[in-house]
Chain A
Amino acid sequence: MLVTGGGGYIGNALCKRLVEEGHQLTVWGRSRPGAVAQAAYSFVSYDLNAPQLPGSLSDIDVIIHLAHAMDDRECLKRNETATEALRDAARAFDGLVFVYVSSQSARIDAPSPYGRIKWRIEQLMDGANEVVVRPGFIYGGAGKGAFGMLLQVLNKSPVIPVIGWNTQVQPLHRDDLTQAFIQIVETNHRQRLYSIAMVETVAFSLLLKNLARHRLGRRVLTLPVPVSLALAGAALCRMIPGLPTVPRDRILGLTGIVAMDTTASLENLGLVPRDLIAGCRDRPRSSRRALINEGRILLHYIGGEQPSTQLVRRYVRALQALGLSSPVSLPPMSGRWPMIMRVHEPLPGTASPLARRLELAVSIAEASPGGARLFAAYAPALRVVAMARLLLTLGVELILMPVRKWRR
């Protein structure tokens, strides 16, 4: 799996998720995805302006092309040449899937050069395994990139200028977009074009108010500003050092939005975007403690006794090395009685994040002197006793099986 532009706002989340799903990941970009353990992927420095691709695609099955240079007008055009070069290289490999991440503003007559160039690049994607994704207005998750800037403004200023009298957007939580990429990669009935966002449009001012309220715990006023004034303001901002610069294209981009019908795409992927309030509420939280807790519960469950802190720490280190840094959800009582995991454990053969964690916990528990006692019958024991205990275990298993099935 290759993600270009993996160091950005979307890229970070996508890369993290891909690694969690067990994909072998290569990232090409200007920066690394800081949210992902370095050992979990390989990184190649990539500049859209460079005449040559930085590496071979020979190990790649899927490319998700996020990289987009925004610096200036010249640069916009180079996106097209670079994408074409990447596409041509990809076409040399049968079956390689190329996912191009475009924009809701992509139109032949878009008011912004950004929208126009996105449209032109979309036209390049006419091969059998080439897919275009048009996401709506992306928000949520870690405060990085344009979204981070927005949060900053919301956090500082009590009055927020909003471009246009009644600008409407179709919000899309970043993690829903990530989910959409995962589904697109996995589906067998891939569409050529995906429009992904909430089905209904929402006033941009409402999105901002909700973000301020639920994410930052603030109330803000929004003030409609005509487009021309906003552009002038942005130009002014650029001249005064220390003020955040808002690219002209971003402002124009917001004005050129035409509502998309996303129902067919969402249906194809079986995706239901989260509602606005829930999406605005998310707060990045520190997970190390949760991972330690998870390790303690799972290792206790597997070993039948309190695990040593060394073993728990090794579990957490392993998760981090493998890029699995978010904790899985465990039943509330499992902290006190890890053995209730026996009812909660996914049925054999189910692939789920919890099943994967259990598999890791088993391997880590085994590779220790305590593990040798538990897993390997080196020590002589009374065979009758051993067999009786085994039968008891299997009996309990038989009784619990229907409960586990039902829980699914």
Chain B
Amino acid sequence: MSDTDPGPDVIIIGSGPAGVSAAWPLLEAGLAVLMVDQGRTAKPDAIAAEGGSLHDLRTGDGGQWKRFLGEDFSALVPRGLVSPKLKVPGQQYVFDGFHTAYGLRTDNFHAVGSLARGGLSNVWGAGAYVYDDDDLADFPIARSDLAASAAVVARRIGLSGSRDDDMAAFYGDDMPLQPALELDARAEKLLQAYARRKPALNTDQFQLGRARNAVLSQPLGARGACGYDDMCLWGCSRGAIYNAAQELVELKKQPHFTYRSGLLVRSIEGGANSYAVVCAAADQRPVRFRSKTVVLAAGTIGSTVLALRHLRHFDRDIPLYSNPTLAVPLVLPGFLGGVLPRKNFSLGQLGFRLRTAELTDAYAHGVLFAASGLPASAFIGQIPLSRPAAIRLFRALQPALLIANCFLPGRFSRNFLKVSDPAATGGVAISGGYQPGLDKVIKSTTRAMTRHFRKLGAYAVPGGARASEPGADIHYAGTLPMRADGTGSSAAPHTSSLGELAGSPGLYVVDGAVLNQVAAKNPTFSIMANADRIARQIARRLKA
């Protein structure tokens, strides 16, 4: 590509949920799009997702250890208290190389990022909800600005859930939905208890309903519906769980779309509607692409680093928000010592929303998971008994267990990101922490969860609640917040309400970086809707 070549209309960096969501509206407007991506894929010798249920695999396959532990036993390397999803041997490629590529160092922050085709959506939990006006309080946009885009994205990726329970309005009830997935027996029982006892409950403080998942209950395009194989954690063979890599297959069929992988974007040079995206190929050879319009969708950390390098904003801390999280195991005594289901769905079953005395102006949001798809060894080490006794206890407990994973608003986090000058180390440092007073909020949230669920006949395991390390939620946002147009005089890096980087016309950011704050609702679906909204505006501008 020579220097005079005008290049494609738009270059998008990254093929995660944000990148593909920005690509569709641009292509539909007839614009030529180049997507540049590191785009790692699973190793060729990796164990592929196969049909068959977790039960069949576990009881029948002598080679199962390769899938669960890894042929190199990588799942057994100690990693602290993190989601079991991050340890799945066949999915390590999703995280590989990220820290090294960015020279990332962390202090009290569990940073997770991806250089994979489809990004982190290869492993995500697929909880998908749209921010409402309360969530958008700090944003220069309102729910109505996202409505059309949310509906488009929902149709594209397929959401399943309920339109008429107590969580429906909170999750967004004005978008196309597939029927909710079948409930696990424990979740079913809890939901029935909620319906029965509702008159006696304070539903102002606590609401329970069907989870909302980007998981198909009916086939969509090439993707199959959920088969209740309980393999969600280990790799779904049916493609029922949304993954941006699935959409890339469709995108590649579009005539004006080009996908270039194997390229690590290092910097964006130039300015004002004339940019060069500078990448390194596998052999370190530099590759450059030029365009008037560049869209950063490299994930919050990646896009922030590229934007700060472009602005030469070095060695200064900027805030990064994330959701403090809390996991509480709940026991339904009626199932103790019972039988584990052979068919199940192991992502979110139910969702709940919680207010407490410490959380009056905001709420905590949580998801309940069945424990049937989780390895027992993840729990056994935490039970204060000898191993054989702990195994026996967990065996009796597991059929009665639901895990409540609860998120608190990002404003309780206190993390900072700093990029240093490439002339020095060029590295990236993230330090993590919580606002003073979060301890109290966590305690009162745990107490409130315990109380509300007890009324429904589910008992928190004593001493079982675990708060996670900053960053372990993997919901990163707020580094390049959107400011209402005309109020962008501040020195801190920010973007316009269209995600356009202040001082750099034509350079847009469409991922979590531009969310002003991260609400207690997992953010990805809202990121996608926002990317769609921004891309529509970009298309309109470029067409004008």
A residues whose Cβ falls under 8 Å from a Cβ of B: 22, 39, 56-59, 89, 92-95, 301-302, 304, 310, 314, 317-318, 321-322, 342, 345, 348-349, 356, 358-364, 366-369, 371-381, 383, 386-387, 389-390, 393-394, 396-397, 400, 404
Contacts and interface: CB of A to CB of B under 8 A. Distances in A.
B58 interface: yes
A317 B70 CA distance: 12
Interface in B169-227: none
A342 B68 CA distance: 27
B107 interface: yes
Contacts of A383: 336-338
Interface residues of B, number: 54
A367 B64 contact: yes
8 contacts: A59-B105, A301-B388, A359-B377, A363-B76, A367-B68, A367-B375, A374-B391, A375-B394
B75 interface: yes
Interface of B: 55, 58-62, 64-65, 68-69, 72-73, 75-78, 99-100, 103-105, 107, 336-340, 342, 375-377, 380-381, 383-389, 391-396, 398-399, 420, 424-425, 427-429
B395 A397 contact: no
Given A39-B72, A58-B103, A369-B60, A377 B386 contact: no
Nearest to A347: B384
Q: Give the residue among A348, A356, A380, A396 with the most B Cβ atoms within 10 A.
A: A348
Contacts of B59: 369, 372-373, 378
Contacts of B380: 362
B289 to A, nearest CB: 26
Contacts of A386: 337, 396
B339 A377 contact: yes
B301 to A, nearest CB: 14
A375 B380 CA distance: 10
B72 A376 contact: no
Given A369-B60, A386-B337, A387-B396, A56 B69 contact: no
Contacts of B77: 22, 322
A394 B396 CA distance: 12
A109 to B, nearest CB: 38
Contact of B339 (A22, A379, A387, A389): A379
Nearest to A60: B105
Nearest to A42: B100
Given A56-B425, A58-B103, A345-B387, A366 B76 contact: no
A374 B376 CA distance: 10
A257 B100 CA distance: 44
A377 B398 contact: yes
Contacts of B429: 93-94
A343 B339 CA distance: 31
A181 to B, nearest CB: 20
Contact of B69 (A58, A94, A356, A367): A367
A378 B340 contact: yes
B75 A363 contact: yes
A383 B338 CA distance: 6
B385 A397 contact: yes
Contacts of B387: 301-302, 345, 358, 361-362
A377 B338 contact: yes
